[in-house]
């Protein structure tokens, strides 16, 4: 029990945080207990849940460095069954501060070990880099979800990500798997989206979630209201896509668990 899934792609602006925020909401609404770990110093998942990130007493940074227990840092969100481990710019120091810690790449895994079984799912929203933070997420997790923006150069960088994944699997976390690929900001009308999708299919075939997330303004607006899209515009195309994605995610989980 207690599956940890990292949302990773070292490219910024591809929809990692939007996907983590909204998938977490719908999976929690389906009755699963979910913890969303904001693992980006930008703290977008934190502010996206209406949490004032600059007034926090403790953040994921303190849990990571072993100065606080995760239990003391976790906050409730506006969604039942969903908690968040918040982040802010303090986390930017971790890349440097972790260096003096033994087994620095396992700090997040250690921090989460005590609460792992309190949740059905722990989603980690990774920063846009392949540095020590992302490495920690990959060591801590059971699997990775890769959001890919359906645009030109979409696969640029993905090879690097897969390379890091392979190294982690060989040396640090042999059980790690690719959970799936989510196509974000998809535009049905353009042949470009279709071409890029064909390319991505060649690469990831059956790992791809068949529900693409369309470009939708409601997904952009909802963080400014401090809520996931389900509380802002539940009938919007963006909301319906993430709802369908959550359904497919949970169906795959059920199949995997027999």
Q: How far apart are CA 90 and CA 77, in angstroms?
A: 21
**What is the number of other CB atoms lying within 10 angstroms of the CB of residue 192?**
13
> Looking up tokens 């506006």, which residue turns up?
78
Shortest separation between residue 9's beta carbon and ligand ADP, angstroms = 6
Give the x/- contact pattern for ligand ADP in 97-136, rule: CB under 6 A. Answer: -------------------------------x--------
Choose, by CB under 6 A, the member of 95, 215, 226, 253 that binds ligand ADP.
215
Strand partners, 51: none
For residue 1, give both structure tokens. Answer: 């029990």
Does residue 16 touch ligand ADP according to CB under 6 A? yes
Give the x/- contact pattern for ligand ADP in 83-102, rule: CB under 6 A. Answer: --------------------
Choose, by CB under 6 A, the member of 184, 193, 236, 243 that binds ligand ADP.
184
Using a 10 angstrom Cβ sphere, with 0-12 exposed, 13-18 middle and 19 or more buried, the burial of residue 171 is exposed
User: What is the 8-class DSSP label of residue 87?
Assistant: -
Of 13 and 93, which has the nearer Cβ to ligand ADP? Answer: 13
**What strands lie across the sheet with 177-184, from one edge to the other?**
75-76, 82-85, 34-38, 121-125, 3-7, 143-149, 177-184
Instruction: Point out which residues bind Mg ion (CB under 5 A).
Output: 16-17, 44
Instruction: Point out which residues bind ligand ADP (CB under 6 A).
Output: 12-18, 44, 128, 184-185, 213, 215-216, 219-220, 238
């Amino acid at each position: 029990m207690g599956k940890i899934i990292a949302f990773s792609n070292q490219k910024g602006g591809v929809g990692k945080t939007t996907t983590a925020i909204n998938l977490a909401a719908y999976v929690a609404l389906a009755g699963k207990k979910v913890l969303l770990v904001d693992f980006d110093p930008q703290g977008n998942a934190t502010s996206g849940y209406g949490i004032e990130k600059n007034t926090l007493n403790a953040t994921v940074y303190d849990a990571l460095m072993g100065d606080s227990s995760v239990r003391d840092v976790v906050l409730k969100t506006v969604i039942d069954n969903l908690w968040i481990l918040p982040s802010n710019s303090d986390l930017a120091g971790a890349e440097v501060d972790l260096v003096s810690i033994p087994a620095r790449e396992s700090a997040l895994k250690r921090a989460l070990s005590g609460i792992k079984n309190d949740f059905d799912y722990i989603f980690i929203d990774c920063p846009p880099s392949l540095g020590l933070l992302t490495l920690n997420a990959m060591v801590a997790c059971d699997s990775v979800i890769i959001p890919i923006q359906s645009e030109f150069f979409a696969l640029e960088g993905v090879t690097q990500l897969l390379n890091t994944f392979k190294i982690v699997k060989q040396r640090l976390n042999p059980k790690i798997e690719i959970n799936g690929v989510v196509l974000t900001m998809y535009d049905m009308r353009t042949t470009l989206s279709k071409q890029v999708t064909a390319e991505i299919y060649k690469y990831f075939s059956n790992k791809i979630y068949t529900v693409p997330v369309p470009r939708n303004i409601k997904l952009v607006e909802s963080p400014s209201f401090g809520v996931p899209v389900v509380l802002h515009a539940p009938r919007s195309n963006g909301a319906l896509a993430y709802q369908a994605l959550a359904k497919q995610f949970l169906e795959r989980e059920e199949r995997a668990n027999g």
